[in-house]
Structure 1
Amino acid sequence: MAPVEQDALAVREQLFHERVRECIICALLFASLYILCHFIITHFKKHTDFTAVHDDEDAAVNRIALGLCTFTLAVALGAVLLLPFSIISNEVLLSFPQNYYIQWLNGSLIHGLWNLVFLFSNMSLVFLMPFAYFFTESEGFAGSKKLLQGIMARVYETSVVLLLLTLLVLGMVWVASAIVGNDAASRQSLYDLWEYYLPYLYSCISLFGVLLLLLCTPFGLSTMFTVTGKLLVKPRLLEDLDEQLSCTRFEEAAVSHRIRSGKASCWLNLDMEMLQEQFFAVRSKRRKLELRHRASPWQRNLGYPLAMLGLLALTGISVLIVCFHVLELLLDDAAMPRGIQDASLGQVSFSIFGSFGAALQVVLIFYLMLSSVVGFYSSPLFTRLLPERRDTPLTKSPRGRTASHCGSLAFGKFLPQPGGSLQQHCPPKPPPSPQIIGNCVSLLVLSSALPVFSRTLGITRFDLLGDFGRFNWLGNFYIVFLYNMGFAGLTTLCLVKRVSWAVQAELIRAFGLHKLPLPVKRRRTRSKPG
C-alpha cells in the first residue's frame, strides 16, 4: 500500500474513532439526564395512575406516556445545560490547550450536542408530546377494536388524529409564511419539509418561548425574594416565629379535637378523610416551624441577609448587562445575535474578564432560567400547572376533594341533610388538565428558548450553533432592540415594586403596626324629607 493511501486510511480511521467517541459521550450524557428526569417525574406523579387502573392496557398506556414525558424533560434539561456546558468547555480548552485527557472536548462534540438538542426539541414538541396526550385520551375507534386487539387500536386512533393535526399545523404554517413572504420563492420553499417547514415551525415556537421568557423572567426575578424569604429563617426583627408556632399548635389541637368529636358524635357527619388530610398538613407545617425555630443565630442573622444581597446583586448585574448591550446595539452591528456553523473552541474567551466573566455568565444563565420557572409557576395563568409531590396526575382523572380546596374547617359551610345531620359542603372542582404532559411541554418551550434568550440579551457572547442561529427574527434590529428595552424596563419595574412593598411590609411588621385595629368607616344615611 502506498504511503499516501496509508495516510488517507489513517485519517479516515481517526475520524471514525472520533465519531464513535462522540456518539458514546452523547449517549452517556443523555442516559444520565434520562435517569435523573425519571426520578424527578416519579417523585411528582400520582401513584394511582399506575396502581388504581383496572386494565392492563391502561397501565401500559400510562407507562408509554410516562416514558415520552421523561424523554421530553431530559431534552429540556439538556437545553438548559447546553450553553453553560459550551462556555465552560471553551474556558477549559483555553486553560489546558495541550492536555491529553481533554482531547475529547472539541468543537465537533459541542456542535453535535447543539444539533441533537435542536432535533430532539423539534421531535418532542411536534410529535412525541401530542402523541402522548392523544394516546392517553384515546379509546380506539369503534370498528377498529374488532380488527386490532389490545393497545394497537389506541395506537391506530392516535396516529390518525396526530396525522390530521400535523396537516392542520403545516397548512397554517404554509399560509402564514405565504402571507409574510408574499413571493413565489417562499411558497416553493415550503415544499421542502425538512429544510424549511420544521425549522420555520420551530422558529415560531422559539419566538413564542422567548416572548414567554420576557414575561416570566422579570416577574420571577421579583418573586425570588419572596420565595427565598419563605425558605430561609428571617432575623427576629423581621419574623416572629413564636407567634406563628403558637397559632399552628392551636390549629393542630383544634383539628385533632374535631376528629375526636366527629367520631364520637352521631348527629354531626364530617368528612373524616378531609379532616385527616388537613391534620397532616398542619402537623407538617408545625414541624417545619419548629425546625426553623431551632435555627442557629448564624443562620438567622447572616444567612437571610447574604441571600437577599446575592439575589439583589445578580438581578442588578443582569439589568446592567442588558443596558450595556442596548448601547452596543446602537453603536456596533456585531452585537446582534447571529448563528455560526463551525464551533471554534479554545481560541478566545467569550468574556472580557476571562474565566471569572465566563463563570459569571454561567451563573447568570442558571439564575435567569430559575427565575423564569418561578415566574411561570407564579403567574395566575399557569398556577394550576404547579406540580405537587405524589399528587400530579398524568391524565384527566378527577381528583378527590382536598382540604385546601374546601377551605378552612373553622369557617366551612355545613348543609343540613335529610336525616337531620350536617354535612360539610364542598363545591365541585373541575377535573385537572394532564399536568405532567403540560409541565414537560412548558419546560421544554422555556428551556429550548434559553440559548436564544441569553444571546439576545447579551448575557453571553457565545454565538448560536447549528439551527439555533437560523431563526429569521434574530436578524431584525428592531425586534432585538425592543426586546432588550422591554426586559430592562419590566425587570426594573417589577423589582422596584416588589422591593418597595416588601420593605414597607417588613417595617410595618417590625414596628408592630400590623396589630393595630383598622379604622371603621361608617356610612351616613340621609333622612328622607317627610
Structure 2
Amino acid sequence: MRSTLEEDPNEQAAIAFYNLVRQNIIAFLLFLSLYAISYVLLQRFRKKFRASDPDDEDDDLFGIDNLVIIVLCAAGLAMALAGFLLLPFTIFATALLLEDLNKEIYYLSWLDAALLETLWNYTFIGCNITLFVLLPFAYFFNETDQQITLIAKARDTLSIMLLVGLLMYVFIYVSKLIFGIVNIDEFVVLNLLTCLGGATICWKATPKGYIRIWAWIGQLPLNFNYRRSLKNKLSQHRMEINAIKQKLESLDRVWRSHGEKAMARSATALSSTVNCPSSSDKLYASMNGFSTNSRSGISTLNRRDLLTALKTLESESRQTQSDLSKSPLYRNMSFFLLLILSLLIWALLQVHISWAFIKSLFVDDDQYNTLKLESAFGKKTGSVFGRYSVLFDICLIFYFTASTIIGVYSIQPFKRIRPRWNRMNVQHMIANVTILLVISTSWPSLVRILGLTRFDWVGPYGHFHKLRSTGQWLAIIFRAGAFVTTLFSFLDYYILKNLPRVRRSSISPRANGVMHNTFLNGDIDTTTINGHILHDPCR
C-alpha cells in the first residue's frame, strides 16, 4: 500500500506542493523577522531633530518620501543580515541533520536540505535585487525634485534607473569582450564585480578590525609606582574636601548668626578685605573650574559651586580608593593572557588563509559548486577538529565578520558615515546599507575562499567555476593579499610601533591609522597612573 502511494503521481504532486508552501512560509517569516529588526535599527539611528543651520537639509519625520526610502533601506538591511547569517545557520543546520535531531525534536521537523537550498536561493536573489534595484531607486528617488508629486518622482526615478542600467549593461558587455569571457552570462560578471568590491574592502578593513577589537586591553597593564600616585592623589582630594567643608561651615555659621542680610554684608566684607583673592582661593578656583575677579577681589565661590565641587571630589575620591584596591598582578596577568589570546586567534586565521592559499596552488577547486547540498554533509560539513566542532567554524566566521564590519568604519571614506544614534540622515542610511550589502553579497564566497570553513556548498554564490582559470587566479590573489595585509598590520601594530628608531622617525605611532586604545575610550591622560583615563566622572 505504501509503495502504491509513493508511486501515485497525484500524491507526489501534493507532497511537493505542501513542501513548497512550507518552505516559502518559513522563508517569509524569517524575512519578516529580519525586516522588523532592520526597521527598528534604522529608526533608532535616524536623525530625529532638525538642525539649526537652515542650509543643512534634514529629514521630515512624517514625510511619505522619506518613509519610502526607509522602507527600501530596511529591506536592504534585512537581506544584508540574511547574507551574513546564512552560512553559519547552514553549517549549524547540517550538523543537526547529521545527528538526526530534526526527527527527534518536533519543532525541528521542518528542517531539511530542500529548505536550506530555498533559503540560499532567496537570499541570493534578494541581495542582488536590493543592491542593484531597490537601493539605486531609493537614492535617485531622494535626489529628484522635492516639489513634484510622488508619482512624478517615481516616474523620473525609473527613467534615470533605466538609463543607468543600460550604461551598466554596456560596461559589462565591453568588459567581457576585453577579457575574453564572452560565453559568461552578464549576471555572473556582475556578481564577480560585487565580490571584487567586497574583497577590496576586506583587504583594507579586516586587519584594522582585528586591532580595534583588542585595542582596549592596552589599559590593563599598570606601572610599578601606581600605588604611590594614587595615594598622593587621594591625599590631595582629602585636603580639598576638608577645605571646602570648612568654607561651608563658615558660611552656615554666618547664616545662623546674622541672617540673610547679614550674610550678604559679611560675604561682601569678607571678599573685599583684600584687593585680590588668596593663593588658596585661586588654587581651589582653578581646580574646580571657578573664576575669580582679581581686579575687584570678588570671588564667585558661592555655596552652590562649593557643593558641586564637594560632590565631584567625593566621587573622585571613592573611585581612586576603588582603583587603589585593585591588584596590579591581576591586571598585568589579564593583559598578558588577553594578548596571547588575540595573537592565537590571529595566528589561527593566518593558518587557515595560508593553508587555503597553498592548497589552491596544487588543487583545482573550481568544481565545488557542482555538488548538491546532500553531498556536502559528513566530513566536509565539520571543521578540521571533527564533526562535532562546527561551533568553532561558526565562531571563527562571526569573528571574521565582526572584524570586517568594525574595520570598515575605521577607514576612509567610510569613517565619515559611521552610524550614530539619532544622527543618520537618509543619504548616510543608503550609503551604509549599500556597504553592508556589498560585503554580505560576496561574503559566502570570500569565507569559503579564505578557508575559514570546510563547508564546500555555497549555493548560487559559487558561479565562479564557470570562469575557469580566471576565477581560480582571482581566488589565489585574494588569499595572498589577505595574508600579506593581515600580517603587515599586526607586525606594524605590535612590533614596529614599539621600536625606538621607528618611534623617533617620521613614521606615525598610529598603526595603519588606528589610534591605540581610543576606539572605546577618550583621549590619553598623562597624569593618570598608566597614561590612560581610568575614570572621568565629568563625562
In 2, the alpha carbon distance for the partners of 1:197 and 1:172 equals 10
Q: Which segment drifts farther, 97-106 or 381-390?
A: 97-106
One-letter code of the match for 1:393?
N
One-letter code of the match for 1:438?
A
Shift of residue 112, structure 1, vs aligned partner? 1.0
Cα 1:312/1:157, change in 2 over 3 Å? same
Cα 1:21/1:255, change in 2 over 3 Å? farther
Q: 2:206 is matched with which residue: 209, 213, 217? A: 217
Cα 1:235/1:121, change in 2 over 3 Å? same
Contact 2:46 2:424 in 1 (8 A): yes
Contact 1:341 1:466 in 2 (8 A): no
Q: Which residue of structure 2 lines up, in the alignment, with residue 99 of structure 1?
A: 104
Contact 1:338 1:474 in 2 (8 A): no
In 1, the alpha carbon distance for the partners of 2:488 and 2:364 equals 28
**Pairing 1:242-261 to 2, within 5 Å after superposition:** none
Q: Percent identity?
A: 26
Q: Is 1:367 the counterpart of 2:399 in the alignment?
A: yes
Contact 2:209 2:406 in 1 (8 A): yes
Q: Which segment drifts farther, 356-365 or 289-298?
A: 289-298
Contact 1:72 1:124 in 2 (8 A): yes
One-letter code of the match for 1:332?
V
Q: Which residue of structure 2 lines up, in the alignment, with residue 125 of structure 1?
A: 131
**Cα shift readout 1:25-52 (whole Å, capped 9, x = no counterpart):** 11121111111112222221111379x9
- What SS class does the counterpart of residue 339 from structure 1 fall into? helix
Q: Is 1:205 the counterpart of 2:237 in the alignment?
A: no
Q: Is 1:72 the counterpart of 2:76 in the alignment?
A: yes
Q: 1:139 is matched with which residue: 133, 136, 145? A: 145
Q: Which residue of structure 1 lines up, in the alignment, with residue 441 of structure 2?
A: 448
Cα 1:25/1:483, change in 2 over 3 Å? same
**Cα shift readout 1:204-227 (whole Å, capped 9, x = no counterpart):** 11222122212221232233322x
Cα 1:5/1:500, change in 2 over 3 Å? closer
Cα 1:57/1:72, change in 2 over 3 Å? same
Shift of residue 180, structure 1, vs aligned partner? 2.0
Q: Which residue of structure 2 lines up, in the alignment, with residue 313 of structure 1?
A: 344
**Pairing 1:344-355 to 2, within 5 Å after superposition:** 344=374, 346-348=377-379, 349-355=381-387
Q: 2:90 is matched with which residue: 78, 86, 97? A: 86
**Pairing 1:290-301 to 2, within 5 Å after superposition:** 300=331
Cα 1:5/1:44, change in 2 over 3 Å? closer
Gap regions ≥5 residues in structure 1: 187-195, 262-285, 395-433, 516-530
Q: Which residue of structure 1 lines up, in the alignment, with residue 276 of structure 2?
A: none
Q: Which residue of structure 1 lines up, in the alignment, with residue 217 of structure 2?
A: 229
Contact 1:369 1:447 in 2 (8 A): no
Q: Which segment drifts farther, 216-225 or 122-131?
A: 216-225
Cα 1:5/1:504, change in 2 over 3 Å? closer
Cα 1:77/1:8, change in 2 over 3 Å? same
One-letter code of the match for 1:463?
D
One-letter code of the match for 2:408?
F
Q: Which residue of structure 1 lines up, in the alignment, with residue 305 of structure 2?
A: none
Contact 2:445 2:458 in 1 (8 A): no
Contact 1:325 1:458 in 2 (8 A): yes
Q: Is 1:8 the counterpart of 2:18 in the alignment?
A: no
Question: What is the RMSD of the two structures over their aligned residues, measured on CA atoms?
Answer: 4.2
One-letter code of the match for 1:388?
R
Q: Which residue of structure 1 lines up, in the alignment, with residue 154 of structure 2?
A: 155
**Pairing 1:57-68 to 2, within 5 Å after superposition:** 59-68=63-72
One-letter code of the match for 2:406?
V
**Cα shift readout 1:315-350 (whole Å, capped 9, x = no counterpart):** 11110112222232233334x573236211644433
Q: Which residue of structure 1 lines up, in the alignment, with residue 25 of structure 2?
A: 24
Contact 1:452 1:464 in 2 (8 A): no
Shift of residue 57, structure 1, vs aligned partner? 10
**Cα shift readout 1:159-190 (whole Å, capped 9, x = no counterpart):** 1111111111111112111222275x56xxxx
Shift of residue 502, structure 1, vs aligned partner? 6.4
Contact 2:76 2:130 in 1 (8 A): yes
Q: Which residue of structure 2 lines up, in the alignment, with residue 108 of structure 1?
A: 114
Contact 1:234 1:301 in 2 (8 A): yes
Contact 2:91 2:394 in 1 (8 A): yes
One-letter code of the match for 2:369?
G
In 2, the alpha carbon distance for the partners of 1:4 and 1:384 equals 63
In 2, the alpha carbon distance for the partners of 1:61 and 1:484 equals 43
Q: 2:353 is matched with which residue: 297, 322, 328? A: 322
Contact 1:49 1:62 in 2 (8 A): no
Cα 1:6/1:485, change in 2 over 3 Å? closer
Contact 2:124 2:461 in 1 (8 A): yes
In 2, the alpha carbon distance for the partners of 1:479 and 1:359 equals 29
One-letter code of the match for 1:78?
A
Q: Which segment drifts farther, 10-19 or 358-367?
A: 10-19
Contact 1:474 1:480 in 2 (8 A): no
In 2, the alpha carbon distance for the partners of 1:79 and 1:386 equals 21
Shift of residue 474, structure 1, vs aligned partner? 7.2
Q: Is 1:435 the counterpart of 2:466 in the alignment?
A: no
Q: 1:497 is matched with which residue: 488, 492, 495? A: 492
TM-score, normalised with respect to structure 2: 0.68
Q: Is 1:459 the counterpart of 2:464 in the alignment?
A: no
TM-score, normalised with respect to structure 1: 0.69
- What SS class does the counterpart of residue 156 from structure 1 fall into? helix
One-letter code of the match for 2:162?
L
Cα 1:347/1:221, change in 2 over 3 Å? same
Cα 1:385/1:240, change in 2 over 3 Å? farther
In 1, the alpha carbon distance for the partners of 2:324 and 2:40 equals 31
Q: 1:387 is matched with which residue: 419, 423, 427? A: 419
In 2, the alpha carbon distance for the partners of 1:37 and 1:293 equals 41
One-letter code of the match for 2:166?
L
- Give the greater-gyration-radius structure (CA): 2
Contact 1:47 1:391 in 2 (8 A): yes
Count matched residues: 422
In 2, the alpha carbon distance for the partners of 1:62 and 1:354 equals 50
In 2, the alpha carbon distance for the partners of 1:138 and 1:481 equals 43
In 1, the alpha carbon distance for the partners of 2:44 and 2:217 equals 25
In 1, the alpha carbon distance for the partners of 2:23 and 2:42 equals 28
**Cα shift readout 1:452-481 (whole Å, capped 9, x = no counterpart):** 111111111222433211135575333222
Contact 1:111 1:465 in 2 (8 A): no
Cα 1:41/1:255, change in 2 over 3 Å? farther
Contact 2:59 2:425 in 1 (8 A): no
- What SS class does the counterpart of residue 8 from structure 2 fall into? helix
Gap regions ≥5 residues in structure 2: 238-284, 293-315, 504-508, 510-515, 517-525, 528-539
Q: Which residue of structure 2 lines up, in the alignment, with residue 338 of structure 1?
A: 368
Cα 1:392/1:294, change in 2 over 3 Å? farther
In 1, the alpha carbon distance for the partners of 2:484 and 2:85 equals 27
- What SS class does the counterpart of residue 201 from structure 2 fall into? helix
Shift of residue 483, structure 1, vs aligned partner? 2.0
